[in-house]
Amino acid sequence: MRAVVQRVTRSQVTVDDKVTGRIGPGLMVLIGVEKEDGDKDAEYIAKKIAGLRVFDDDEGVMNLNITDAGGEVLAVSQFTLLGDVRKGNRPSYFAAAAPEEADKLYRKVIDLLEARGINVEEGVFRAEMSVDITNDGPVTILLDSHKLF
């Protein structure tokens, strides 16, 4: 499972001209699920998102996690994170999980974050979405449950 985590001052996702999720300060998280992923991968990603110390403390040092900072999460499923362009320029999505399995594990990440008391807003699974992101910093972190990076 992969995730791109961006610290934001605000973010929102729109589907068919309707806002489906909106947050103020917090984390915008794009999540891609691989074929071989399971519950352990979702648990790893949720734990990392919740624990990332990317918010400034009183001394201006990135030392606070999302809960400490009182932030929210906007989660969006994004299978294109699994795009492989090592052979040519057209991405191959062979590694991406089937939609049913991807949705199940994407939902598990959200459930695990909410179980930690984090407010999570969402996009719409498999929908064409418009995502507005105001990256703060900018701070962008890449996560991979298989620890490829």
Please give the single-letter amino acid code of residue 22.
R
pLDDT tens string for the chain (149 positions)?
999 999 999 999 999 999 999 999 999 999 999 999 999 999 999 999 999 999 999 999 999 999 999 999 999 999 999 999 999 999 999 999 999 999 999 999 999 999 999 999 999 999 999 999 999 999 999 999 999 87
Known active-site residue 80? yes
Known active-site residue 94? no
- Active-site annotation holder among 14, 20, 78, 149: 78
Torsion, Cα of 2, 101, 21, 9 (10° steps):
-10
Known active-site residue 12? no
- Active-site annotation holder among 6, 12, 55, 79: 79
Instruction: Give the contacts of 111 (CB within 8 A, at least 6 positions apart).
Output: none
88: left (phi over 0), alpha (psi -120 to 50) or beta: left
3-class secondary-structure state, position 126: coil
- Active-site annotation holder among 80, 94, 125, 140: 80
